[in-house]
Every structure is written in structure tokens, then in C-alpha cells.
Amino acid sequence: MTTTLCGCGSNIFQGFVGEPEKSLLESIEDASTTEDYSRLITAADEIINNSSSTDAEKAEAHLIKAEAILGKSNITALDIMAELALSADQDTNPINVLSTSAPLEDLIAASTSLSAASDLGDSGNEEQNLMKGIVNTMIVMNTITEEFTINENGDIENNVSDYSDSLEAIMYPDPSNTDLTILDYTNEALEGFTNSGALTAEQLTETETIKTQITEIETLNESGESDENNIQNALETIFQGF
């Protein structure tokens, strides 16, 4: 089954690809501009919201939508794979490769689409699992760096507010959905990287270490600690592991 991009009897990409009908997968492979990716997101949403679409069609549309969202920010699996390979050769923490200026809300939207595809029975291929690892790690790192500056030694400086307020802020990357914590996004990242086969054993170990640090952040948040100095000291210790 291949989902096609048709609307009102005509291909919404007519003129873009020069063919009467193009599949969603073929169109994402041809996309290169912000407009291309935006049109793909619209097309994917039409399939997702169409009551006559099958679960398989919706799952494929969610996967393509996630890739298109990232494509708008010039984030592609091939580029990231090349950077990860280089980081492995240079013994660089893969987390540092995954810093991005992409809007956090776009990253969360991409993660949501990947999760929706999985819920519909399509966990994606190796490349799509790599994207899952990438986007969820970017969410974790962007959420943290909105509150803190972290240098190469793991030393932190609060950018925004009191450490107690920052602790609460980083716990929920999407403040409108407090059912998902930063640890949930971390778990999704690790699952994606593991299933992608793209990371070396050493790199996977480093991502698992990050999960340990995030778990400690969640434990601190749930501890009920209210002393500002204690929270600051605890966070400074935790971030030494990054």
C-alpha cells in the first residue's frame, strides 16, 4: 500500500514533480524547500484526518509528516548519520551533535507524529527510528538549554529564573501536556537509537548515561525539595554527567 497525494481529483504536488500522481513517500524524497515540506505536512494531515483512511495509511502519513517537519528545519537523517559517524571517529558525545535551533514546538510535533505512527502499528524503518532518536534527543537538549547554559565540563548557569522554577520547567518540554515528562522523551530517544542501529556501542552507552541523569532530575523534582541552594547543588551535580 502506498498513500498518494491527491486532493479534489488532482495531485497537490502537480507542477512540483511533473507527474499526475505521486506517493507520499516519493514526494518526501523529492522535497527540498520549506514550501515542499509545508505542502507535505498539509497532505499528511489530510490523510490522517480522513475517516476513510486506513490505520496503515494514517501511520505512513504520520511518519512522513514527522520527516517533513524536521525537513523544514534542515534536519535530515542522512546528514545526522554523517555527523554521528564523524563524532564516533572523534570520540565525541553524540548528544553534542544533536544541538539545534529548530523550534521546540516543531520538534514536539514531529515526536507526536512518530508516536502516533507507532500507536497505529508502524514503528518505522531504521532511518525513521534514527529520526525518532534524533528528534526526541533534540527536545531534551533544547528544553534544558532554554533554562541552563552547560559548558564542556558540565558546569551550568541558570539562564532564566530560580533553579526551582527551572527544574519544574525542564520537567515538561510541552507545558500543555504534563502527562509527558522529559524522561518520556529520553526513553523515546533511546528506543529510537537502539532500533536504528546507527550508533556505536560506545555512543549508545553515552545516551544511556544521559537517561540516568534525566532520571535523577525527575527524582529531584518528585522529592519535594524546596530549598533553592539544595536544588542548585543537586542540579549542578547531575549536569556534571552531561
Lookup result for grid cell 508516536: 115
The C-alpha atoms of residue 80 and residue 94 are separated, in whole angstroms, by: 10
Cell numbers for 11, please give them: 495531485
- Angular region, 33: left φ>0, alpha ψ -120 to 50, beta rest: beta
Which positions ≥6 away from 161 have C-beta within 8 Å?
Answer: 147, 169
Full-model pTM: 0.83
Position 125 pLDDT exceeds 80: yes
pLDDT at 89: 66
pLDDT at 21: 55
pLDDT band at residue 67 under the 50/70/90 scheme: very high
Amino acid at site 65: K
| Residue 192 CB neighbours (<10 A) | 27
Amino acid at site 121: G
Task: Read off the pLDDT of residues 23-56 as tens digits, 9 standing for 90 and up.
Answer: 888 888 889 899 999 999 999 999 999 999 999 9
Amino acid at site 67: E
Q: Rg (Cα) of the chain, in Å, rounded?
A: 19
pLDDT at 35: 94
Task: Read off the pLDDT of residues 167-221 as tens digits, 9 standing for 90 and up.
Answer: 999 999 999 999 999 999 999 999 999 999 988 888 888 889 889 999 999 999 9
The C-alpha atoms of residue 110 and residue 34 are separated, in whole angstroms, by: 15
Question: Is 225 in contact with 231 (CB distance < 8 Å)?
Answer: yes
Lookup result for grid cell 534525566: 214
Three-state SS across 139-207?
HHHHHHHHHEEECCCCCEEECCCCHHHHHHHHHCCCCCCCCCCHHHHHHHHHHHHHHHCCCCHHHHHHH
Position 99 pLDDT exceeds 70: no
Which percentage of the chain shows pLDDT scores above 90?
52
Q: What is the mean pLDDT of the chain?
A: 84
